[in-house]
Chains A and B, each alone.
Chain A
Amino acid sequence: MGTLPACAPLANPYVPFQNENPKRYEAEKGLIRGTLFPGLDLPYLGMINEQEKGDTGLAELQALAFAINELALYLDTHEEDKEAAELFQSYSDLYQKGVETYQKEHGPIYQMFSVMDGRYTWTKGPWPWEYSANEHGED
């Protein structure tokens, strides 16, 4: 091993840029992996989330809410974009209908709707952080 001349750089950083029209996952896979772009999918310590989201009402609501949140972030700085505003509205309508159907079957998501058949049902488990809450969507 020799030494480099004093004028030589110690290290060369390399920053790859994302090209136009990069490869994309299918939307559903993007939701599971946490990014739409394979080039940005860098799992921590190689741990990959392969767990499929069930084809359930809850998973559908979660996907819709994600899309609505992302559109809102975009619209915050692009409020003149009519196409995005219409998409936002149509997803919001779908979400509202979905919530209604879901709550009838599985209990309240929103406290405001927690009286069902005259009974206050908010405290009835499972809470969303309990594992069993992630299973009941299968039925």
Chain B
Amino acid sequence: MFLYDKKLQYPVKIANPNPRLAAMVISQYGGPDGELGASLRYLSQRFSMPYPALQAVLTDIGTEASK
């Protein structure tokens, strides 16, 4: 289960707004081959992972990648 933390992982201050760059960054997040897709793959691979330590790793990186 997921909780949303209302904070960023790293402080961001946009000095020069750039819509074209923003669109690229956003597609790296939610687009094809983006972080969200990767995160769901980690989270579904953990169900067939036989090693507890690696179940933990897949859970943790899958969670991190969706943030």
A contact set with B: CB distance below 8 Å: 111, 122-125, 127, 129
Within 8 A of A (CB), among B19-67: 46-47, 52-53, 55-56, 59-60
Q: How far is the CA of A127 from the CA of B52 in the complex (A)?
A: 9
For chain B, the bracket of interface size reads under 10
Main secondary structure of the interface of B (DSSP, over half): helix
Residues of chain B within 8 A of A122, CB atoms compared? 56
Minimum distance in angstroms from B16 CB to a CB of chain A: 33
Residues of chain A within 8 A of B46, CB atoms compared? 127
Supply 12 A–B pairs (Cβ within 8 Å), ascending by A: A111-B60, A122-B56, A123-B52, A123-B53, A123-B55, A123-B56, A124-B52, A125-B52, A127-B46, A127-B55, A127-B59, A129-B47
B contact set with A: CB distance below 8 Å: 46-47, 52-53, 55-56, 59-60
Minimum distance in angstroms from B23 CB to a CB of chain A: 28
